[in-house]
Each structure stands twice: as structure tokens, then as C-alpha cells.
């Protein structure tokens, strides 16, 4: 006599049913986001670019000001890149701002200022990948194009209980196919936004609230009790760490001015301004590293003085500890050897320049410290 199989039954996933249930849930629980109220190709493109690698709460503080400063693709294309970076300041991943600016110029030049609706034309724009193209096509143009970001990958990997790593190309291909099967042909924009909201608010990375999910009865991972184990990710390599040094280089004869430098446009954090410096090399002290970097990048000599602040910061693929020192300019006129530009400025001038978050924290330390002191107090 055969024993009784006590394992739970496998849910049957009906694509029309999945669409219906998710859209009904979305109608009741959709997040009220400003870019959803009257979506256009331009606002969808800007908001989706901002949302890459950035939390919604942060984008909510930047989006209105960015749209006020650059209300359409023409305004964005005509603006100097420095203005675009300043509007983006503090949001991180500045390559996105560069790509928006370059793509706007391509749209004005090649598409008469109209954002294209075709997949091939969108993918040809700087910074537009398959996800962003799918979001624009579905939300702004009503085309049944799939999307696949981190939230959607998590939802779909739990829905189908995928036991292989979502970092594998074959699994990502499968997820794209699944997203394409599911997208509602009549309401593609609403469906894709619902899928994003589901991953952001219910099917979250830790402790998903499965009882609130419209797909709870058809989710294979939940049926098998594996929702906390999905998605599977490949083991990541240890994140490297570097010590970096930066100098507040005070002018030799003007105690109110110090040096800032502009990073090369084609490099990391391109076009942003910074307190110049660089990575510490093996065998160097931090003051020695600062003196060497300033010599190599700007052809100047300095006397390194007091330590101001040390800051930890994480980038996508590495971490740094940034050590900021006061220094006094002792010789050589600045030359652009490893930088795109330089300026002698006062503390009051800094609001006109776009800085990365680490340099903003140095500025905060300078201002919190009671303002500017003569360079003689900071360097020998």
C-alpha cells in the first residue's frame, strides 16, 4: 500500500490570472509617485535613470528640482554638464547624469527632440539598457515590453522557485523570458509598475510579507517554504579597500583661498570637483602620498599639515577610507597633468561647484570647524 504524500500541492500559475490579480492589487496599493501622475517619455526616462541604484525616498527629493531646472529634453541638452552634475550632486553614480546629458543631445540632434519609442533606437542612447528601454516603452508608449530589475528578479525567482543563481546569464535570460510572458498586453505600464511595487513593498529581500501578496497562492517558493532562500546569488568576492588622501591646499599668500580640482570628464566621477589627492601606495605615509599625488596631478609642492577628518565610503566594487589633510602651497603653479581643471576658491564659493559625497563631507567638516583659518595654522 502506498504511503500518503504529505507535501503541499504545486500551485498552478495561470498567466491571465497572475495579471488580473497583480493589477487588482496595484489598483488598491500603488505608491503615489510624482513621475506616475502624468507620465511622459521624458519624465519616465529621467525618473527611471534616477531610480537605478538609488532608493525611491532619495529620488523623491531630487526629481522635482531636476525637472524644474531641466523641464524637457531641449533644456537638458543645452545645459552645461557642470549644471547637470550640480543638480545631481549627492545622488551618486554620476555616470547616469553624464549619460542623460549625452543622450539628450543625441535625441535633439538625431530625433528632433522626441524620445524614440523603438527598442533599437532607445538602446542606442547612452546609458539606456534593456530595463530602461522596457520601462519607457511600456509606461510612456503603452508597448508590451518587459522589465527586469533587482526587485522584479526577486519576485520572479520566488514565483517560480528558481534554485540557480540569478547572476548566471542563463538564469537572467530565463527571467527576461518570464517577464515577457507575464507583461499585460493591454496595460503594460501599470503591470510593470505593479511588479516593481510588489518587489519594493511586499516581496522584499528579508522577511517578505507573503500573506499580503496577490500571488501568495501561486508562488512556488512559498508553497515549498523556500521564500527566504530566494533569490539565490553567486558568492561575491571580498570587496577591496583602499586608503585615499585629499588635501585642503591653502594659498601661500591669500589665507582665505584653497585649491580644488576637477576630475577628468571620462573617468570615475567625471567632471565633479574635489579636494585633490589620490590613493596611498605601499610603503608611503599618508602625508607622503598626498605630497606625491599633488606633484603628479598638479605639478605643485606642498607642506602637509594637520589632519582634518577621515571618512569611510563604499562604491559599487570597492571601499575607501578618505583622509583629508590641511596643506600649504609652497611651490609651482598648478598644471592640469591628471585633472581637467583647477580653481583657487573660498569656502563661500563652493556652492557653485558639484562635489561627490566624500568631498561634501570634507566641506561639512571645514564649515563645522568654525570656518577658515590662516594656512600657517594648518601646515608647517
The phi and psi torsions of 93 (rounded to 5 degrees) equal 45, 60
Cα separation, 205 vs 211, in Å, equals 15
Containing 329, the helix (H) or strand (E) segment is: strand 319-331
CA distance 283 to 380: 23
- 119 in active site: no
Is residue 237 classed exposed, middle or buried when 0-12, 13-18 and 19+ CB atoms within 10 A define those classes?
exposed
Would you mind telling me the total number of residues written for the chain in this entry?
380
**Cβ-contact 358, 311 below 8 angstroms:** yes
Rounded to an integer, what distance in angstroms lies between the CA atom of residue 192 and that of residue 209? Answer: 20
Task: Please tell me which residue in 48, 89, 274, 297 is annotated as part of the active site.
Answer: 48
For residue 173, the tally of other CB atoms under 10 A from its CB is: 10
**Phi (first) and psi of residue 224, to 5 degrees:** -95, 0
For the record, the C-alpha cell of 308 comes out as 582634518
Cα–Cα distance, 239 to 212 (Å, whole number)? 36
Enzyme catalytic residues: 48
Amino acid at each position: 500500500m502506498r504511503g500518503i504524500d504529505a507535501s503541499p500541492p504545486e500551485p498552478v500559475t495561470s498567466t491571465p490570472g497572475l495579471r488580473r490579480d497583480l493589477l487588482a492589487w496595484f489598483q488598491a496599493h500603488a505608491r503615489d509617485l510624482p513621475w506616475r501622475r502624468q507620465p511622459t517619455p521624458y519624465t519616465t526616462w529621467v525618473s527611471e535613470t534616477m531610480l537605478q541604484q538609488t532608493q525611491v525616498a532619495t529620488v523623491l527629493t531630487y526629481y522635482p528640482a531636476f525637472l524644474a531646472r531641466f523641464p524637457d529634453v531641449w533644456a537638458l541638452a543645452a545645459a552645461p554638464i557642470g549644471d547637470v552634475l550640480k543638480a545631481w550632486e549627492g545622488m551618486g553614480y554620476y555616470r547616469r547624469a553624464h549619460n542623460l546629458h549625452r543622450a539628450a543631445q543625441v535625441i535633439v540632434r538625431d530625433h528632433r527632440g522626441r524620445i524614440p519609442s523603438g527598442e533599437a533606437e532607445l538602446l542606442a542612447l547612452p546609458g539606456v539598457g534593456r530595463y530602461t528601454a522596457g520601462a519607457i516603452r511600456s509606461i510612456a508608449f503603452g508597448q508590451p515590453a518587459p522589465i527586469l530589475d533587482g526587485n522584479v528578479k526577486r519576485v520572479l525567482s520566488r514565483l517560480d522557485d528558481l534554485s540557480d543563481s540569478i547572476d548566471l546569464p542563463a538564469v537572467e535570460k530565463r527571467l527576461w523570458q518570464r517577464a515577457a510572458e507575464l507583461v499585460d498586453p493591454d496595460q503594460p505600464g501599470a503591470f510593470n509598475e505593479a511588479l516593481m511595487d510588489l518587489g519594493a513593498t511586499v516581496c522584499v529581500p528579508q522577511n517578505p510579507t507573503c500573506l499580503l501578496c496577490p500571488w501568495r497562492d501561486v508562488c512556488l517558493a512559498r508553497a515549498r517554504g523556500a521564500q527566504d532562500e530566494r533569490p539565490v546569488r553567486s558568492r561575491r568576492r571580498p570587496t577591496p579597500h583602499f586608503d585615499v588622501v585629499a588635501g585642503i591646499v591653502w594659498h601661500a599668500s591669500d589665507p582665505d583661498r584653497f585649491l580644488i580640482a576637477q576630475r577628468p570628464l571620462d573617468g570615475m566621477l567625471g567632471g565633479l570637483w574635489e579636494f585633490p589627492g589620490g590613493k596611498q601606495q605601499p610603503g608611503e605615509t599618508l602625508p607622503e602620498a598626498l605630497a606625491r599625488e599633488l606633484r603628479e596631478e598638479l605639478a605643485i609642492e606642498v607642506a602637509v599639515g594637520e589632519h582634518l577628518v577621515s571618512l569611510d565610503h563604499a562604491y559599487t566594487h570597492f571601499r575607501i577610507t578618505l583622509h583629508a589633510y590641511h596643506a600649504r602651497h609652497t611651490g609651482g603653479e598648478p598644471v592640469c597633468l591628471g585633472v581637467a581643471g583647477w580653481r583657487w576658491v573660498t569656502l563661500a564659493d563652493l556652492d557653485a561647484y558639484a562635489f561627490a559625497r566624500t568631498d561634501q563631507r570634507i566641506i561639512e567638516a571645514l564649515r563645522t570647524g568654525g570656518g577658515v583659518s590662516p594656512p600657517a595654522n594648518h601646515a608647517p
